[in-house]
Chain A
Amino acid sequence: MTTDLNFPGLRSGVELVPNSEQAQTGKEYTSDQEVRWCPGCGDYAVLKAVQGFLPDLGLRRENIVFISGIGCSSRFPYYLDTYGMHSIHGRAPSIATGIATAREDLSVWVVTGDGDALSIGGNHLIHALRRNVNMTILLFNNRIYGLTKGQYSPTSEAGKITKSTPMGSLDHPFNPVSLALGAEGSFVARTIDSDRKHLTAVLSAAAAHRGTSFVEIYQNCPIFNDGAFDALKNPDTKADAIIPLVHGEPIRFGAPDSNGLGTKGLIRDSETGGVKVVDLADLGDAVEDRLLVHNAYNPDPTMAFAISRLTDSGYLNQSPIGIFRQVERPTYDDQARAQVGEARAAHPGDRTERLAALIGGGDTWTVV
């Protein structure tokens, strides 16, 4: 049996969060705690970007909550002067679900890593995405376990030699974006720690999205997995490594042609049913017809999933970067509050009197 849920209407991710009356600065968002990541850690860049970006949201600082699990990145909430909880390994999405469901007036953020979100907390991640709870999940992916000093993670390439895998790891890695799309995430994106402009743009879009926004951030661990994303960062290789996804734009990259446009692009692959990279020169006049134009708003996640498969599962020489998917879907927390609101409207009156009626209901008898 199903029932009409009377979905309350789609809104921006922060529509119900009160706005700040004054302009804010990044400094206000900086807590008094000493930051204790290793020198050169990619987490610094993300922290700076977030501290710089939050004032632009224009929300009251006391209505922002950061929740994390366990791992290097999960220290994040201590360094932001908002409300926050550094919780237990893998459980941040469940804690954030409780907060987001209990309070419509909060902007809820989850900071997690590849081990926290995809290994011990994999279940909570996929169910948060499925329910579409209004929160933004920042997954710092360094493809290694840092805090426990260098074991392979669920995003490490197969065959990786680590402390726990001296003959090479045997696990096939997760592709976080593919996983999020498979769980029908309504906002799925990927960005890079070192590209502050892109990072900020993606965070803005994620915060504005109502529902679970999932952002994978490639983040370099200089101690245990240095250089994991070098192909995407090195000026000599990045043009061929980064497949940029911009809604409404043809997906092309690689060394620029005379017009400054990439010489490579994505087309459908009739053999696999997916998509593939081609030299556009090989397409001749068919470029216009065959070159894919990115549509992040496509309600069907199939194409976004196909594009996500272009990420190398071994050493990273190529990966699509940008917003894969951004669609509107009812959120769990809005609907849960709507049900409570509907029930309350149907039963007005004093709670105490209604409690007396409740416990005094059923078949009763009186002894005098």
Chain B
Amino acid sequence: MSVQQGKQVKQLDRVIIRFAGDSGDGMQLTGDRFTQESAVFGNDLVTLPNFPAEIRAPQGTLPGVSSFQVHFADHDILTAGDAPDVLVAMNPAALKANLGDLPKGAAIIVDTHDFTARNLAKAGYATNPLDVLGDVNDPLGAFAVHAVDLTGMTIEAVKEFGLSRKDAARAKNMFALGLLSWMYGRPTEPTVTFLEKRFAKVADIRDANIAAFKAGWNFGETTETFVVQYEIKPAPMAPGTYRNITGNLALAYGLVAGGVQSGLPVFLGSYPITPASDILHELSKHKAFGVTTFQAEDEIAGVGAAIGASFAGSLAVTTTSGPGIALKSEAIGLAVMTELPLVVVDVQRGGPSTGLPTKTEQADLLQAMFGRNGEAPLPIVAPRSPGDCFDAALEACRIAVTYRTPVMLLSDGYLANGSEPWRIPELADLPTIDPNFAAPGPQDPDGTTSAFQPYARDPHTLARPWAPPGVAGLEHRIGGLEKADITGNISYDPANHDLMVRTRQAKVDRIAESLPPLEVDDPSAEDGQGAKVVALGWGSTYGPIGAGVRRVRKAGYRVAQVHLRHLNPFPKDLGEILARYDKVLVPEMNLGQLSMLIRAKYLVDAVGYNQVRGLPLKAAEVAEAIGELISQAEGIQVDLSADATPAASPDASTAVSTQEALS
């Protein structure tokens, strides 16, 4: 092996890498480490983990493939990318399962070690595609394939630690990580430190992983297989301190912050469910903040205990996914009726029923909105990116406590497990939340105190008093039966019921008074030539819609973007904003749930762009949908391949495609 003198370095503005292997191959860890290295390096990034619901699906099979996609760039990006530039495939199944997503010219790094007859058969390959590389019938002819015995070299590199062959081979993911870290000039110290910490108690495993990681780096540096190293400069970001964060972690931190900002103890009642369990895990670590976590016997007990804790004066939370919401519905209705603060977190996944536990979807909006008996309105808040889960959770806490109501916080599987650089907020900038507990009334001249009225209301918020037990004079009974206005006594009076139904609705509607004006992103409005089409979204589609909007604008067309954090009530100015546009496109990962609400409320002829594939929307497809509406609204032909802006053209000679430059 000759040492390459001064390898070529090519500049790229962005790269999408997908690590793929068997579910036991450690691909999530590999992707996560590469992400951390890129974050520390200063690139902007977005990640997309994608794994099967089975913990260890049958080895070597297509259903068992686990992957982690990371998109990193020298500029602000919004999505994990539509198509990978580089695929790292640890076995034949990983190659086959991901090949269809690769654009022509993409680079593939395959571990040849697992391309055995048995594994090829399991993946459905009649012949080994690596045997015919470069032939006329090469099925991989459109790609730049690097066939490397990653496992074999890993075993060789860790020989000195005396591990079994099986254990030695398990470090192959770190070899792959080392190789990719070299290719993209990633800093290696964070990963070495990470491995030292993670395997502190098993010296041989620790040393083997570090050795494999370094061997992978050195292999890239010395071998002739890889002649080019790539450089992706740090992205300019707003000043501040950053960390990489997943949605579930940010959401858990937001709930801890809710406790600190309200001065209340946090109580989480929860039952484990994918993809929400990590919030339970995380909150269970924060008892020092006065957080109590209760792993209940079922979903209903989880919300039941939270309602009890809320009655007792805690900031109460229950976390789950769609199927859990279905089970909790009756209890959430009780919280609506008793008007107790409660944050209900729904990390949405593919449905119905058990559906796609590890895949993303946003098809619980109507369940959140209407999934209870009777007129049972509750506020709905949705984060738009992993880091935004922090702010959204805090907002849910604010609404719940201020308005004495259950609040639905709609995250999803993509936000939960995906990550992005997050600017760590200054605590002074966070809102404070006033629990404003009820106090006994003033004494009358005769020494008696007027009776406590548990259903009297604050004139501004329409909230009722929150009176946890322990205060003399505020003894009261609440429950699921209809309440008489003001006194809270049981009432079957028809006029009272009508009043109370309207009052509960009015209270939720009143929240709109506390919301800031919507941000409308329409650069073309400045020159008085506003867009005729607006793309309206909510939740995790913010990234793909934003990326699609950028593509459309880059091609020289006008489009506005509005993204909703509050789904109930809608911001006060939404109707007026939508009325400004000829066409309203609503991209969603469902069959048109926000569209339905918008059409019903504003009589707007909203057009849906809907995909339910268990994956984030693709920016290119959103752009096409926008282009179609622009074409209709403006009566013009729309060609999105045009480039109306002078931009530095990417190096077309590399194997790394940068054709989709704006994602």
Stretch from B200-208, B330-338, B498-506, B559-567 that touches the partner: B330-338
| A123 and B427 within 8 A (CB) | no
- Which of A91, A103, A351, A367 is the one whose CB lies under 8 Å from B312? A103
A residues 325-368 with Cβ under 8 Å of B? 336-337, 339-340, 342-344, 346-347, 351-352, 354-356, 358-368
| B477 and A85 within 8 A (CB) | yes
Q: How far is the CA of A263 from the CA of B44 in the complex (A)?
A: 87
| B308 and A97 within 8 A (CB) | yes
Q: Is A283 an interface residue (CB 8 A)?
A: no
Stretch from B50-58, B253-261, B532-540, B637-645 that touches the partner: B253-261
Q: How far is the CA of A70 from the CA of B480 in the complex (A)?
A: 9
| B292 and A63 within 8 A (CB) | no
| B474 and A62 within 8 A (CB) | yes
Stretch from B89-97, B146-154, B294-302, B401-409 that touches the partner: B294-302
Which of A95, A123, A352, A368 gathers most chain B CB within 10 Å?
Answer: A95
Task: State how many angstroms separate the Cβ of B393 from the closest Cβ of chain A.
Answer: 12
Task: State how many angstroms separate the Cβ of A66 from the closest Cβ of chain B.
Answer: 8
Chain A contacts for B490, CB-based, 8 A: 33, 78
| A99 and B40 within 8 A (CB) | no
| A340 and B253 within 8 A (CB) | no
Q: Is A127 an interface residue (CB 8 A)?
A: yes
- Which of B39, B243, B269, B473 is the one whose CB lies under 8 Å from A98? B269
| B478 and A86 within 8 A (CB) | yes
- Which of B288, B305, B311, B469 is the one whose CB lies under 8 Å from A346? B288
Q: How far is the CA of A101 from the CA of B311 in the complex (A)?
A: 12
| B475 and A82 within 8 A (CB) | yes
| B240 and A85 within 8 A (CB) | no
Q: How far is the CA of A358 from the CA of B306 in the complex (A)?
A: 24
- Which of B313, B424, B489 is the one whose CB lies under 8 Å from A364? B424
| A67 and B308 within 8 A (CB) | yes
Chain A contacts for B468, CB-based, 8 A: 103
| B257 and A62 within 8 A (CB) | no
A to B contact number (C-beta, < 8 Å): 206
Q: How far is the CA of A103 from the CA of B469 in the complex (A)?
A: 9
Q: Is B314 an interface residue (CB 8 A)?
A: yes
Chain B contacts for A352, CB-based, 8 A: 260, 427
| B469 and A364 within 8 A (CB) | no
Using CB atoms, name the residue of chain B closest to A98.
B308
Chain A contacts for B311, CB-based, 8 A: 83, 85, 95, 98-99
Q: How far is the CA of A94 from the CA of B190 in the complex (A)?
A: 45
Q: How far is the CA of A84 from the CA of B238 in the complex (A)?
A: 52
Known: A62-B475, A97-B301. A102 touches B243 (CB 8 A): no
Q: Is A19 an interface residue (CB 8 A)?
A: no
Known: A86-B480, A87-B480, A355-B257. A101 touches B243 (CB 8 A): no
Chain A contacts for B475, CB-based, 8 A: 61-62, 81-83
- Which of B39, B306, B425, B489 is the one whose CB lies under 8 Å from A365? B39
Q: How far is the CA of A69 from the CA of B426 in the complex (A)?
A: 45
Q: Is B479 an interface residue (CB 8 A)?
A: yes
| B301 and A94 within 8 A (CB) | yes
Using CB atoms, name the residue of chain B closest to A339.
B287
Interface of B is mostly: mixed
Q: How far is the CA of A65 from the CA of B468 in the complex (A)?
A: 10
Task: State how many angstroms separate the Cβ of A343 from the closest Cβ of chain B.
Answer: 4
Chain A contacts for B287, CB-based, 8 A: 339-340, 342-344
| B308 and A60 within 8 A (CB) | no
Q: Is A88 an interface residue (CB 8 A)?
A: yes
Number of interface residues of A (CB under 8 A): 61
Task: State how many angstroms separate the Cβ of A20 from the closest Cβ of chain B.
Answer: 10
| B469 and A91 within 8 A (CB) | no
Chain A contacts for B291, CB-based, 8 A: 340
Q: How far is the CA of A323 from the CA of B626 in the complex (A)?
A: 73
- Which of B265, B297, B334, B480 is the one whose CB lies under 8 Å from A102? B265
| B334 and A87 within 8 A (CB) | yes
Chain A contacts for B301, CB-based, 8 A: 91, 94, 97, 123-124, 127
| B424 and A360 within 8 A (CB) | yes
| B470 and A99 within 8 A (CB) | no
| B40 and A363 within 8 A (CB) | yes
Chain B contacts for A31, CB-based, 8 A: 477
| A106 and B479 within 8 A (CB) | no
Known: A94-B308, A98-B269, A359-B424. A368 touches B239 (CB 8 A): yes
Q: How far is the CA of A70 from the CA of B334 in the complex (A)?
A: 12
Encode B461-482 as 1/0 by CB contact (under 8 A) with A. Answer: 0000000111111111111110
Known: A86-B481, A102-B312. A344 touches B260 (CB 8 A): no
Chain B contacts for A355, CB-based, 8 A: 256-257, 260, 289, 427
| A103 and B470 within 8 A (CB) | yes
- Which of B190, B257, B330, B470 is the one whose CB lies under 8 Å from A106? B470
Q: Is A146 an interface residue (CB 8 A)?
A: no
Encode B418-435 as 1/0 by CB contact (under 8 A) with A. Answer: 000000110100000000
A residues 49-84 with Cβ under 8 Å of B? 60-65, 67, 70, 77-78, 81-84
- Which of A61, A70, A102 is the one whose CB lies under 8 Å from B292? A102
Known: A60-B472, A98-B304, A365-B42. A88 touches B334 (CB 8 A): yes
Q: How far is the CA of A123 from the CA of B302 in the complex (A)?
A: 12
| A83 and B477 within 8 A (CB) | yes
Chain A contacts for B331, CB-based, 8 A: 88, 91
Using CB atoms, name the residue of chain A closest to B479.
A86
Q: Is A96 an interface residue (CB 8 A)?
A: yes
Q: Is B241 an interface residue (CB 8 A)?
A: yes
Q: Is A105 an interface residue (CB 8 A)?
A: yes
Using CB atoms, name the residue of chain A closest to B297.
A127
Using CB atoms, name the residue of chain B closest to A367.
B237
Chain A contacts for B478, CB-based, 8 A: 84-86
Chain A contacts for B265, CB-based, 8 A: 102
Using CB atoms, name the residue of chain B closest to A28.
B475
| B288 and A347 within 8 A (CB) | yes
Q: Is B251 an interface residue (CB 8 A)?
A: no
Chain A contacts for B469, CB-based, 8 A: 62-65, 83, 99, 103, 106
Q: Is B242 an interface residue (CB 8 A)?
A: yes
Q: Is B575 an interface residue (CB 8 A)?
A: no
Q: Is B233 an interface residue (CB 8 A)?
A: no
Chain B contacts for A96, CB-based, 8 A: 308
Q: How far is the CA of A336 from the CA of B475 in the complex (A)?
A: 27
Known: A340-B290, A360-B424. A62 touches B300 (CB 8 A): no
Q: Is B69 an interface residue (CB 8 A)?
A: no
| A94 and B305 within 8 A (CB) | yes
Task: State how many angstroms separate the Cβ of B568 from the closest Cβ of chain A.
Answer: 23
* Residues in chain A within 8 A of chain B (CB atoms): 31, 33, 60-65, 67, 70, 77-78, 81-88, 91, 94-103, 105-106, 123-124, 127, 336-337, 339-340, 342-344, 346-347, 351-352, 354-356, 358-368
Give 18 A-B pairs besides A97-B294, A359-B257 with Cβ atoms closer than 8 angstroms.
A87-B480, A88-B331, A91-B301, A91-B304, A97-B308, A99-B308, A99-B312, A102-B309, A103-B312, A124-B300, A343-B287, A351-B289, A352-B427, A355-B257, A359-B425, A360-B241, A367-B236, A367-B238
- A-B pairs, top 6 by smallest CB distance, nearest first, are A98-B308, A86-B479, A94-B304, A98-B305, A343-B287, A347-B288
| 18 pairs, A vs B, C-beta closer than 8 Å | A62-B473, A62-B475, A63-B470, A83-B311, A84-B476, A88-B333, A94-B304, A94-B308, A98-B305, A98-B307, A99-B469, A102-B308, A103-B313, A355-B427, A356-B427, A361-B243, A367-B236, A367-B242
